[in-house]
Structure 1
Amino acid sequence: MAQQQSQFSRRNMLKFGAGALGSGAIAVGLGAKSQAKEPAVAKPAAQPAAAKPKVDKKDLTPDQALKLLMDGNKRFVTRKLEKPRQDWARIQEVAKGQNPFAAVLSCADSRIPSEIVFDQGFGDLFVCRVAGNVATPEEIGSLEFGAAVLGTKVIMVIGHERCGAVEATMKGAQVPGQIGSLIDAIKPALSRSNKFTGDPLAKSVKANVSLQVSKLKASTVLADLIASGQLKVVGAYYDLDAGTITLV
């Protein structure tokens, strides 16, 4: 009997709380008409907006995955960040395994953090960063793993405005150590720069992106996934001043 009373009391409290919230909302909306002769009739509390359905990344098409990236960059540029999947619960979730929906090959430049410019969270992107965003055997192997094993649906190669590695290549700079290997990987792109728009450096950066995309598409692992409609490989250009990503 005591238990039934307790449950009854809790129900009454919940009903009272809902009614009080509903009355409060009405009072604010109507300007709180305190001179009314009859008490306002409490309306049911408004239902919270339905949560966005959770997208199962495994079911994305390559075009849908690309759209998620571009939509995220639009939020970044317009300062309407959602900062999704960045809480502690998400950290615990992806600790058990990862299922990134997209992969990025970008320059190691510190001003292009992929998760931020695409407004993504833990476990969403499989990212390779190297100066000049060059597709070395190690980078290609990593992206093959991302696509064939982890299931990424799109690979985006991102070059950026005022890239120092591309500029050094254009100037024929003499560099120490292994830095020269980066220049050697970029140099073949310079001959195709006139196919693109912008100032000479921007055109060369875009040409380099195109070259690295072609290297990725030449991978037998990635080529098979592209042919079967499971993967898309695209190039992009990042504007340091505006924060925008533009497909090349």
Structure 2
Amino acid sequence: MITAHAALARLQEGNRRFISGSGRDHTLRSQTLRNELVEGQAPFAIILGCSDSRVPAELVFDQGLGALFVIRIAGNIVAPSQIASVEFAAERFGTPLVVVLGHSRCGAVAATLEQITQPTQNQSVHLHSIVERVRPAVEPLLETELRNDPDALVCAAIRANVRISADHLRHGSEILEQRIAQRQLMIVGAEYSLETGVVDFFDGVDAPA
């Protein structure tokens, strides 16, 4: 298995291909890969991303079958099932990199801001569970000058939500903490721009050892 930094570089290279429109035609090897992957998989990165239809990780990073272990949920939040999924991939496959991938104009973050500032009484209990997990990233920002700039507030809240999710993974699992301490795992936060296609890795990216 490659190192975390090599995995990160592979994602960055794939994103550059995606942005430039020079992505690979992964269908050319799909039949061969399907046969190869029947007996097992070895994804080089775990992506915890949003369910938004505009942010498919395999396309954004120009990767084919078997390359990424993708977990998608609205707002790229972290709940017990997401932690368990990351633990599973990290332990079972030795995957060295986790990316918490948020994106611009995130509906879950916007919905949380709306619920905090203009609460409704008939919100679905299931939607409420997502809002409550995004809330800790949003509420502190409403105490700053950002409350007077809605666009800047949403941008800051999206990144704050990514950071909180990444920190939750780093410190919410003994298994993941141990792998991080042993330098077997790196967890980073990133934001995908719907406008440009660029993925900005802004949290937890350190220099190679």
- Answer whether TM exceeds 0.5 for this pair: yes
Question: 1: CA distance between counterparts of 2:140 and 2:165?
Answer: 12
Q: Please list every run of 5 or more consecutive structure 2 residues that lacks an aligned counterpart in the other structure.
A: 203-209
Give the equivalent residue in structure 1 for 2:101: 158
Give the equivalent residue in structure 1 for 2:8: 66
Question: 1: CA distance between counterparts of 2:13 and 2:174?
Answer: 30
Question: 1: CA distance between counterparts of 2:6 and 2:140?
Answer: 30
**TM-score, normalised to structure 1's length?**
0.72
User: Aligned ranges for residues 125-204 of structure 1 at < 5 Å?
Assistant: 125-172=68-115, 173-174=119-120, 175-193=123-141, 199-204=152-157
Question: 2: CA distance between counterparts of 1:191 and 1:176?
Answer: 20
Q: Give the one of 207, 215, 220 matched to 2:174.
A: 220
- Residue 125 of structure 2 aligns to a residue whose secondary structure is coil
Against the structure 1 CA distance between its residues 192 and 214, is the aligned structure 2 distance closer, same or farther, given a 3 Å change threshold? Answer: farther
Against the structure 1 CA distance between its residues 192 and 70, is the aligned structure 2 distance closer, same or farther, given a 3 Å change threshold? Answer: farther
Q: Which amino acid aligns with 1:178?
A: H
1:165-215 per-residue CA deviation (whole Å, 9 max, x = no partner) reads 101111115321311000000000114547x9x721111000000000010
Give the equivalent residue in structure 1 for 2:206: none
Give the equivalent residue in structure 1 for 2:159: 206
Give the equivalent residue in structure 2 for 1:229: 183
Q: Give the one of 46, 54, 62 matched to 1:103.
A: 46
CA displacement at 1:229 relative to structure 2? 1.0
Question: 2: CA distance between counterparts of 1:116 and 1:142?
Answer: 21
Q: Which structure has the bigger radius of gyration?
A: 1
Against the structure 1 CA distance between its residues 243 and 232, is the aligned structure 2 distance closer, same or farther, given a 3 Å change threshold? Answer: same
CA RMSD across the alignment:
1.6
Give the equivalent residue in structure 2 for 1:81: 23
Question: 1: CA distance between counterparts of 2:140 and 2:48?
Answer: 20
Q: Percent identity?
A: 38
How many equivalent pairs are there? 188
CA displacement at 1:84 relative to structure 2? 4.6
CA contact (8 A) 1:132 1:186 kept: yes
CA displacement at 1:144 relative to structure 2? 0.6
